[in-house]
Structure 1
Amino acid sequence: MSPYIADPWAWQESWDRQQEAYLPDREHRFAAMLDTVDAVLDGRPPRVLDLAGGTGTISLRALARFPDAEATLVDLDPALLAIAGASLAGRATIVTADLNTPDWLATLPHREYDAVLTATALHWLPADRLTRLYAELRDVLRPGGVFVNADHMPDDTVPELTKRLMDRARERRDARYATGSVLSWSDWWERAGSDPALAPFVAERHAIYPTGHSPEWNPPVSWHLATLTAAGFSEVGTIWRGGPDAAVAAVR
């Protein structure tokens, strides 16, 4: 049963605005991801796995695009999962699992999915674990199914330009924080921790991540393409790019 949160949509809105401070073109990448799902459908409603799905951002958009889809959301963060459960209200299967170990596979309600989607999440995993996860994801997909990962993936052919783009983005973000037009990551979590309904879940989150997530690891897009190819996917490529970010797709 989902926890009682007075207005989960207010938290969804707040999360979206906080995330958009980092990713102004966030909706464009989601649209590209869902267009890719649409391209591999085989005439029936898709079965979608929202990997490291947080508040349910991708699941909500997938269900809006494909109303008859079956969605499974996997994450470990209890606070974000509380918001997801309240917002999705039974429209998706919510699974608590740790992607740092292969045991997460045993928590899935289905053996195969048409699409596995994730955004701005897997950079918390170290290289060796992400390499193994990519291989695990191939086996989660049906033949012809697609995996899409949208994240910070610099183009290693333009390193200096990428640095300048990131510096400019940081300047714009800091200006928005200074004016109070949007909450920063830390401010958002402080606000969540002061909410009576979310406070217990935020406390549980701090117990899981006592020092926060591990340091971010953002290899270039070429690393992702090479690693997905080595994992045995039949087609691998970039379906979207925005500055230092990209979305890579891999077809089983």
Structure 2
Amino acid sequence: MTTTTGTGRTGTDWQAWQESWDRQQEWYMPDREERFRVMLDMVEACVGSEPRVLDLACGTGSITARLLRRFPKATSTGVDLDPALLAIARGTFEGDDRVSFVEADLTDPDWPARLPYGTYDAVLTATALHWLRSDPLAALYGRVAALVRHGGVFMNADHMIDETTPRINVAERIRRHARMDRAMRDGALDWAEWWQLAAEDPVLAGPTARRFEIYGDHADGDMPSARWHARVLREKGFEEARAVWCSPSDTVLLALK
């Protein structure tokens, strides 16, 4: 997606890419904005309106964008490994000294050493950690616990599947697929179509190719229940942990240090 200035110079419209990513994600998660609102409500309630935030597996910076709109005095560190999504994030927030980005593999035990701060008021993540298997995720939770200051919070908004309710799970999948079919008929881009568009863009083509070398089409992770997440977070150093919001398919899990 390119723009042309009055001088005839062309450049990448990073905001347009940011918005197209949001629309593509909403194709799967129509409650996405409500999840973000609840996350920021709880940030304000627990740590105030000027938080230092770690945007974990930040992607294009969707959480950071909403954080800074609501809390202009907040600061954010985004960390991710995806070169294409990081390119969009860096382009979107270029020149904003409240924001920094770190390229790192969250399965690497040493990734926290790359961060500009030793502790954070809040660590937030959304629709990302289901890419990890349970054992690497539990290890990641231990490293996250060390980064959250006493009294600070961690929140994970993601798909969390309760295997004790198989018939409800089937009904939810039927509902979700019907909604996605309607969105497709309305012309919404799905995951594969969005990435194809990125692969055809002259600026994002290279980062997109590298991204697929790293991840393939999609990582084969786990989606444990909210109960599992809460238990593991307590084991790893948080004092309290429970769901603070849920839909038929997604949960916002909050852990307090």
TM > 0.5 fold call = yes
In 1, Cα distance between the equivalents of 2:140 and 2:256? 15
Q: Which residue of 1 aligns with 2:19?
A: 13
In 1, Cα distance between the equivalents of 2:50 and 2:11? 30
Q: Which residue of 2 aligns with 1:112?
A: 119
Report the 3-state secondary structure (helix = DSSP H, G, I; strand = E; otherwise coil) of the residue aligned with 2:220: coil
Q: Which residue of 2 aligns with 1:57?
A: 62
Q: Could you tell me which of 172, 183, 201 is aligned with 1:176?
A: 183
Q: How does 1:137-176 map to 2 (within 5 A)?
A: 137-176=144-183
Amino acid at match of 2:81: L
Q: Could you tell me which of 200, 203, 207 is aligned with 2:209?
A: 203
Are 2:222 and 1:233 aligned?
A: no
Q: Could you tell me which of 92, 98, 101 is aligned with 2:105?
A: 98
Report the 3-state secondary structure (helix = DSSP H, G, I; strand = E; otherwise coil) of the residue aligned with 1:101: coil
Q: CA deviation at 1:180?
A: 5.1
Q: CA deviation at 1:244?
A: 1.7
Report the 3-state secondary structure (helix = DSSP H, G, I; strand = E; otherwise coil) of the residue aligned with 2:110: helix
Structure 1 unmatched runs, 5+: none
Are 2:35 and 1:29 aligned?
A: yes
Q: Which residue of 2 aligns with 1:191?
A: 197
Q: Which residue of 1 aligns with 2:4?
A: none
Q: Could you tell me which of 238, 250, 254 is aligned with 1:249?
A: 254
What is the alpha-carbon root mean square deviation over aligned residues? 1.5
In 1, Cα distance between the equivalents of 2:65 and 2:193? 24
Q: Which residue of 2 aligns with 1:126?
A: 133
In 2, Cα distance between the equivalents of 1:33 and 1:57? 12
Stretch moving more, 239-248 or 213-222: 213-222
Structure 2 unmatched runs, 5+: 1-9
Amino acid at match of 1:18: Q
Amino acid at match of 1:50: D
Amino acid at match of 2:86: L
In 2, Cα distance between the equivalents of 1:5 and 1:110? 33
**How many aligned positions are there?**
246
Listed one character per residue, the Cα deviations across residues 116-155 of structure 1 (whole Å, up to 9, x for unaligned) are 0000000011111100111111110110000000000124
Q: Could you tell me which of 81, 87, 107 is aligned with 1:82?
A: 87
Contact 2:35 2:245 in 1 (8 A): yes
Contact 1:234 1:251 in 2 (8 A): yes
Q: CA deviation at 1:157?
A: 4.9
Amino acid at match of 1:176: A
User: What's the % identity of the aligned pairs?
Assistant: 49
Stretch moving more, 17-26 or 216-225: 216-225
Report the 3-state secondary structure (helix = DSSP H, G, I; strand = E; otherwise coil) of the residue aligned with 1:229: helix
Report the 3-state secondary structure (helix = DSSP H, G, I; strand = E; otherwise coil) of the residue aligned with 1:214: coil
Contact 1:156 1:222 in 2 (8 A): no
Task: Name the TM-score, length of structure 1 as normaliser.
Answer: 0.93
Q: CA deviation at 1:161?
A: 1.2
Q: CA deviation at 1:90?
A: 3.4
Task: Name the TM-score, length of structure 2 as normaliser.
Answer: 0.92
Contact 1:154 1:246 in 2 (8 A): no
